[in-house]
Amino acid sequence: MGGMSTPPPLFDATLIRKRLARAKAAGFADFLVARACEDLGERLGTVLRTFEQALDCGTPTPQAAAWLRESGRAGDLVRLAPLPEPAQPGIALAVGDAEALPFGEGRFDLALSLLALQHANDLPGALIQIRRALKPDGLFVGCLMGGRSLAELRQVLAEAESEMEGGVSPRVAPFAEVRDLGGLLQRAGFALPVTDVETVPVRYATPFGLMRDLRAMGLTNALRERRGSLRRATLMRAAALYAERFADADGRVRATFELIWLSGWVPHESQQKPLRPGSAKMRLADALGTTEHRS
């Protein structure tokens, strides 16, 4: 018997690039990337250093790289773009895949990736490659869509399809859960991993506005095991259920986007290290002012 077989890829990478290209040609909806760039500024604001070599790894638009260049926080800046795009001054452009980084080991001091890694077929492998591309004491900051994103849309699509077509097909991609990502960072070899979640509610006049925006972000269904397009009657039923369940008093409907932030450092001897078990100078019970009970 041979070894374990690799599970088939969850996402169709060619289709993802095609849909992103279509979205960009028609006018990319960049509000989530813009929001992530704002948050990135706050997060990097607490790191008091300049990065000589920085990498933007797969962010759908050049906004993050442009922000980093304008901030003065990075010296040389490389953008690994998912598709060909116009060159920008001060940014070296490469086109490639975040799951197959074309860079040598230990090249960068900072790697960032905004709203790209949620479609990685091998997220642990992508994180390992990013860690290898960083120097010792290099920093990775990533943002990806989390598991509670589009919960409203998932619910109504599943119910409408079950009701109208007698079965349910996966229509919205499964996104990562925050509880898993800290462990993935550690497995990839990052020290001092941090994960946190931000929920971004967005309101639309109708559910079709949300669907247009998902198309304009290249986020329509790219699962390999997807069924064909939804029937029009099923789509109309899903929109009716959405308006019935998730409308505010003014009739506008809510959609939830969950952004998961993760960061970690490549190990270096200058970093804080956890104390060895038994090396604490003070017992926890003394620090808490409590009595220690031995069972």
Residue 44 belongs to domain with CATH number? 3.40.50.150
Give the structural domain span for 185: 13-267
4 in any annotated domain: no
293 in any annotated domain: no
pLDDT, mean of residues 109-124: 93
pTM of the shown model: 0.83
Q: Centre a 10 Å sphere on the Cβ of residue 249 and count the other Cβ atoms it contains.
A: 5
The contacts of residue 85 (CB under 8 Å, 6+ apart) are 24, 62, 93
pLDDT, mean of residues 198-223: 87
278 in any annotated domain: no
Give the model's confidence band at 179: pLDDT under 50 very low, under 70 low, under 90 confident, else very high.
confident
Q: Is 3 exposed, middle or buried (0-12, 13-18, 19+ CB in 10 A)?
A: exposed
6 in any annotated domain: no
Tens of pLDDT, residue by residue over 145-160, are 988 899 999 899 889 8
Tens of pLDDT, residue by residue over 222-256, are 444 445 567 888 889 999 999 999 999 999 999 99
275 in any annotated domain: no
